[in-house]
Structure 1
Amino acid sequence: MTHKTLHQWKSIALIEEQVTLPNQQTITHTTIKHPGAAVILPVTENGELLLLNQYRPSLKKWLLELPAGTMELGEDPTQCAHRELIEETGHAAKIMISLGQVTPLAGFCDEIQHLFIAKELAPSDQYQCDDDEVIELVTMSLEKLQQHIIDGTITDAKTIACLSKASLCGYI
């Protein structure tokens, strides 16, 4: 299998490669290679949820979403979840429960998003967003978050997936 890197940005690359399909046909396929990410549903002691209002330059608008971030080289998903929670919300979690994973863009990207629910939160002094992140911390009830999904205020797929998985698994 031959491949060519068309573009590289940080740990994400656009790769063109020859792929043999299950029907034995060989095609040229372009894939975004991604190291994976963690998505975290932080639940406070009183049952409220921490979200981010984050400016997304690719959409040129603000999105209300859960904290999340790309895994660093050699980092496992749980480590990433702990790190990103602190960096983006200023809170650390004593308990980080894995909810499994989702494949958000399987048609053109190999990213796997690892879903977590974070509990027993405490303020951390390690709060530091990345240079390309503009974030406002938002606290809201589960009911308000669900209503925002219903009315279309929240459209972020990873947020909807993580909340759904936490709900289906009985954590919220």
Structure 2
Amino acid sequence: MPVTDKTVIHTWKRISLVEEQVELPNGKTVTHTTIAHPGAAVILPIDENGHVVLINQYRPSLKKWLLELPAGTLENDEPIEVCAARELEEETGFSASEIFPLGQVTPLAGFCDEIQYLFVAKNLSKTSRYQCDDDEVIEVLHISLAEVEQMIINGSISDAKSIACLSKAKLCGFI
């Protein structure tokens, strides 16, 4: 599909709003607006007791707290595994000696090109580094898998990337 006449409408951090003329497979040309995103890592940390390390993060877009797995956006040409390790440490204060890739999901394909890469992190070690971004307010929680699953069922956990990563990890036999 050829792309022509691309215009960046707005840029914020590493994300851009892009409008472009796109030729569809049926030959029709349309104006399409996309959020251009460099991709992100989503990490399912499992502690020595088999508990899931979740974060309770205040999300200004929703104006509320959200229970979710640690995750973050790729920086520049950063390898995705490096991003996963960095975000795990920044958001939870843990590093992992084992990180297993689970594949990827496309969360908002109708208007965003973001790909989220899923990981399981095991053999966690506490680090001295716990450095959130300026716009991040985060609490770190250790919750049993049974409780996490119940929280998904009752709606206490509604974050799609977290539910997808937990589901994929369970289907792949990691939990």
Question: What band does the TM-score fall into relative to the shorter chain?
Answer: over 0.9
Shift of 1:2: 1.8
Question: Structure 1 residue 72 and structure 2 residue 72: aligned?
Answer: no
> Percent of counterpart pairs with the same letter?
65
Select 1:133's aligned residue among 131, 136, 156. 136
1:15-94 residue pairs with structure 2 within 5 A?
Answer: 15-94=18-97
Shift of 1:127: 1.2
Question: Structure 1 residue 102 and structure 2 residue 105: aligned?
Answer: yes
Q: How far apart are the structure 2 equivalents of 1:58 and 1:104? A: 17
Deviations 1:65-98 (A, max 9, x none): 0000000001011100000000000000000000
SS in 1 for 2:96: strand
Other-structure match for 1:146: 149
SS in 1 for 2:134: coil
When normalised by structure 2's length, the TM-score is 0.97
Q: How far apart are the structure 1 equivalents of 2:24 and 2:170? A: 36
Shift of 1:45: 1.1
Tell me the number of residue pairs that the alignment of Structure 1 and Structure 2 aligns: 172
Deviations 1:21-53 (A, max 9, x none): 000100000000000000000001110110000
Select 1:119's aligned residue among 107, 117, 122. 122
Shift of 1:125: 1.4
Q: How far apart are the structure 2 equivalents of 1:2 and 1:165? A: 38
When normalised by structure 1's length, the TM-score is 0.99
